[in-house]
Amino acid sequence: MRLTMPTAVVEGTQLTVMPFRADAVIGTMSVPTLVQLVPSPRREEDTKTLKAASGAVRRHAELRSLVQRALKSTQKGKNVGSYAEYIADGVKGELGAGWSTPPITFWHAGPLAALSDELLPGTGLRTLTITPGTSVVAIDGETQTTAWHELYDDPERYGLTYAELAQVRVPFELYVDLTVADARQIFYDRNVQGVAVAKNLAMSMDQRDFATRLAHRVADAVKVDIDGKLVPFTKLVNASKRQVGKADAEVITLSALRALVITAIYGRGGLSRSAETVQEDELPAGSSPEQVEQSVVPLLARLIADRSEHFVSRSALTAPAVLAGLGIAVHHTAPWADPVNALGTDELNRLLSDIRWEREARYWDGVAAKSGASGRLNFSGGVKDSGGRVADAILYPGTEAGRRIRGQ
């Protein structure tokens, strides 16, 4: 008796996808499928582990090295742990709806084993099959891929379970049967063609950042008079730009207002934190989040309201460095400030009362700005460069800079 061979059946991992061009699809996959399809990049860079790995894993590691940068001893590798914690917090619901991971870009190094017809006519949805041992490489989103491996290797470490991870869907795009050169080009385009967001601007978008939240509350607490109408100060704060232009309706950026908040909290130490996340457990000794909010928000709101005409007229007061220096002066009135240099609010107001806020070189050249050959004043020095000089000029009226900003 001779056994007849079964008809050809394509075996492998099946994914439901939608093509968006002739050689690429989009879809979602489960975390177990992800860690099965794509080996851990961290393990592929471990020489001992790779030596004992299967031939398929070694071939995958070799192919990966042609289109990816190393994880080991790079900032990319250092980010894996924090990325895994971020994802875990999101999966556990601790971040609410305000969290996201971008779709991972994969490269399927050869042709697909199978691609079905449309599952439902007119939808574009199809099923593709990836045979075991096929090399699928992350050419963009590899840090995220490694983070998913970290989570799946030890979910309990991150407060998760395998059952919770199994319910997660990971969005992806998959490029099929490209050459190594094309895969490299996609890596280049994704990492170089885009314009990186300035870190201080990105920080101003972080709603989990304590300083950003306070900056919004300060803006919400103020109304200014424009042509006889009371307008919320929030309408004068631009949250999407690094700097405001002459044609913009807004007069300051949210990142500049955030610098005012941070220096009011930390004093001079806040100059180095303007592009860093401010966590509630990192506030100055002797303070609490509630105390900081109750002290800083009304004080800064009152300060802005009392000088609203200088903000509306786009005076020197709207420059980030000037706001940072002002925040350092405000810090001396805080209950948690060093008592040796403590100021009362009345004393602070006296120091501010005779300052000339006009954008003129005779007041601000060499303090918060530089005068060019044309005589135009440039305030682009930045918070770290000029914030300390502005603070000294505000706090010490008898110095050369102190006299200059007061027109003396």
Residue 47: per-residue pLDDT: 79
Residue 257: per-residue pLDDT: 93
Q: Smallest Cα–Cα separation from 259: which of 322, 188, 343?
A: 322
- Return the percent helix, strand and coil in the chain, to nearest 5: 50, 15, 35
Residue 9: per-residue pLDDT: 67
- Euclidean distance between CA atoms 302 and 314, whole angstroms: 18
CA-to-CA separations, 71 to 144, 172, 185, 392, in angstroms, rounded: 12, 21, 20, 44
CA-to-CA separations, 77 to 83, 260, 348, in angstroms, rounded: 10, 34, 47
Query: pLDDT tens, 265-290?
Result: 999 999 988 878 888 889 999 899 99
Residue 203: per-residue pLDDT: 66
Residue-averaged pLDDT of the chain: 88
Q: Is the pLDDT of residue 129 over 70?
A: yes
| Threshold 0.85, pTM exceeds | no
Q: What tokens does 191 get?
A: 């990492």
- Euclidean distance between CA atoms 263 and 109, whole angstroms: 52
Q: Smallest Cα–Cα separation from 78: which of 131, 42, 52?
A: 42
* Cβ neighbours, 10 Å, residue 232: 13
Rg of the chain over Cα atoms, rounded to whole angstroms, equals 28
Q: Is the pLDDT of residue 7 over 70?
A: no
Q: Is the pLDDT of residue 369 over 70?
A: yes
Query: pLDDT tens, 154-195?
Result: 999 999 999 999 999 999 999 999 999 999 999 888 887 777
Q: Which region, left, alpha or beta, applies to residue 378 given φ > 0 means left and ψ of -120 to 50 means alpha? A: beta
- Euclidean distance between CA atoms 49 and 28, whole angstroms: 29
Q: What is the DSSP string of 237-249?
A: EESS-SS--TT-S
Query: pLDDT tens, 187-231?
Result: 888 887 777 776 666 766 777 889 999 999 999 999 988 888 888
Domain ranges of the chain: 13-194, 201-404
Q: What are phi and psi of 352, to 5 degrees?
A: -90, -20
